[in-house]
Structure 1
Amino acid sequence: MSTTSDISATAVVVPAHPTKPSTPAIEQEKEAPAKKSESAVKSFISGGVGGACAVLVGHPLDLVKVRMQTGGASSNSVFGMLSTTMRKEGIRGLYRGVSAPLTAVSPMFAVSFWSYDMGQRMVKAYGQNGMNEEEKAAPYTLSMGEICVAGAFSAIPTTAIMAPSERIKCLLQVQATEVEKGGKARYSGMLDCAKNLLKEGGLASLYKGTGATLLRDIPGTVAYFGTYELTKRELMKIQGIDPNNGQLSLTAVLFAGGFAGMACWGIGIPADVLKSRLQTAPEGKYSGIYDVYKALIKEEGYAGLFRGMRPALIRAFPANAACFLGVEVAKNMLGFMD
């Protein structure tokens, strides 16, 4: 059969104009609808669950960190301090002062994740400004810059809860060290501590160190949420998961959360040292955070700004891995709220 015959035969079979696909085919080719925004209430509850997980896993190492920062460490070794505390005070000693962060950290993390969600909504709305309805309906992936802005925003409302909790927690932890050395306990517990602070100096005393807390938490939350999202996206690429519709494995969530915590504390530890010194100092010792900074540099040099970094970083990975795991598990369980 000649080439011409082949072409002619083919021309009979193939239509001169391609036919349009049927309506069902068109529907199948349409891009998947944008992923729905999560409920703000869901973000709030999930954050609270994550916060409780973080406290329960990380508090013993937080205790060591505060004692190192305030000069109450009985050993230069993180694990040496844990061993000494366990031997002298038992398991309860490792969780000294835990009631304050557990009471405040769960709602604090709830507010943090809720405000982070609100921050994401705001930057998304700003990014979609000028788009038509069809463009707005398409999946919108926040840039890392937008993620960082949302993270920074989350630190502001969170500090309103965190500052007094941190003050009480630090005072109770330092008090335990003084009692161990033969001193007398000044506070019987969290509520007694709060009551005495209010009696002595009012709300100003309870919120002492708020500026230092913000100085720590604004860059810290930028690193926290930024690192989590960046790590999560990279892991999704490696695993071939669609970032708009897919979900990470629990192992990947643990790694992303752990690295996020380490990034947060790696940036925030100098401000945390200043905050701890300011919040546990006798009234009138320092005029403010800059006064703490000058005194610390004069007495200990710049190395003093990084006291407690080892326990902070050791604690950061498991505590924040547990936090994000708790958040993601809670979100899955609360999927009906979307």
Structure 2
Amino acid sequence: MGEISGDAVSVAGMLAGVATVVVGHPFDTVKVKLQKHNTGADGMKYKSGLHCTARILKTEGVKGLYRGATSSFVGMAFESSLAFGIYSQTKQLLQGGITSEKPQLHAIFPSGLFAGAVISFILCPSELVKCRMQVQGTDSLLPSLSRYSGPIDCALKTIKTEGLSGIFRGGGATMLRESLGNAVFFSTYELVRYHMHRPLRDASSDLTHLVDVGIGIVSGGLGGIAIYRRSGIRGCYTGLGPTIVRAFPANAAAIVTWELAIKTLGIKRE
């Protein structure tokens, strides 16, 4: 990756985060519903991810798949902007300002680790609010007094009842996941992008745009799958299907948007 200005990275990263939520949030909603309702005392509620999706669409419509998306859009836009910015700047620093065509894992991996650790402080409260909003769908058993009118109401009630530490519940696990996840994601993305680009460099200018999009889809998608295969180690297998299915399109959308935004902003890359 060539040298990129901080402002351009922030804008491109923010757009990548928005794309991730647009494509990936419905899958995430299904995952959260499965984890909530299929592991309770009442036994299995949904037969599969498809059954869960059909139930949500029937009872809540398409908006049900995007329940809790508001906090996700804000959180992911800020998180992605920060993640790509920190990653890019840290990698340049570790490379001593020297740009290299071939990916340098000694700079890529620790840069991803550091970026993931920082964004976990933003992602943890954002995810907690998102999950609580998703779970309280129209089929929720929560009493009316416990329901949330929106993300801000959810955050305020959480802080009121559980204290400030309540909004950061699971912070340690989130930091570990994001640190390792981002290190694996960026390493996979950079390596796949490099090896796919080499044999296609002589493609005609008419195909360059399509080639870049195709490479973005594959490199981003494979990077996402690499992350989620690792997340399965935690043992939370309920809802793993929608999580893995989500990994490829959501991360592919993020990388394609990132690549196109960088080009649109006039940033040249090797």
TM over 0.5: yes
The alpha carbon displacement at 1:37 in A equals 0.9
Equivalent position amino acid for 1:195 in 2: L
Unaligned stretches of 5+ residues in structure 2 = 39-43
Superposed, 1:221-300 pairs within 5 Å as: 221-240=182-201, 249-271=212-234
Structure 1 residues 105 and 181 mapped into 2: Cα distance closer, same or farther (>3 Å)?
Answer: closer
Is the aligned partner of 1:331 residue 2:262? yes
| Superposition pairs of residues 88-103 of structure 1, within 5 angstroms | 88-103=59-74
1:305 lines up with 2:236 in the alignment: yes
Judged with a 3 Å threshold, the aligned counterparts in structure 2 of structure 1 residues 259 and 140 are, in CA distance, closer, same or farther, namely closer
Greater relative contact order structure (CA < 8 Å, 6+ sep): 2
Contact 1:261-1:320 within 8 A present in 2 as well: yes
Does the Cα contact within 8 Å between 1:78 and 1:310 map onto a contact in 2? yes
- Name the CA shift for 1:123/1:332 in 2 (closer, same or farther; >3 Å): same
Alignment length (residue pairs)? 257
1:40 aligns with 2:3: no
- How does 1:65-214 map onto structure 2 within 5 Å? 65-72=31-38, 74-125=45-96, 139=100, 141-176=102-137, 179-185=138-144, 186-214=147-175
Q: CA RMSD in A?
A: 2.4
Residue number in structure 1 paired with 2:41: none
TM-score, normalised to structure 1, is: 0.70
Structure 1 residue 201 displacement after superposition:
2.7
Q: What's the offset of the Cα at 1:83?
A: 1.2
2:22 corresponds in structure 1 to 56
Q: Which runs of 5+ in 1 are unaligned?
A: 1-34, 129-135, 272-303
Structure 2 match to 1:295 = none
1:147, distance to aligned residue in structure 2 (A): 1.3
Counterpart Cα distance in 2 of 1:337 and 1:239: 17
TM-score normalised to the size of structure 2?
0.87
Displacement after TM superposition at 1:336 (Å): 6.1
Secondary structure in structure 2 of the residue aligned to 1:254: helix
Letter in 2 for 1:112: A
Shift of 1:80: 1.7
Q: Which runs of 4+ in 1 moved over 6 A?
A: none
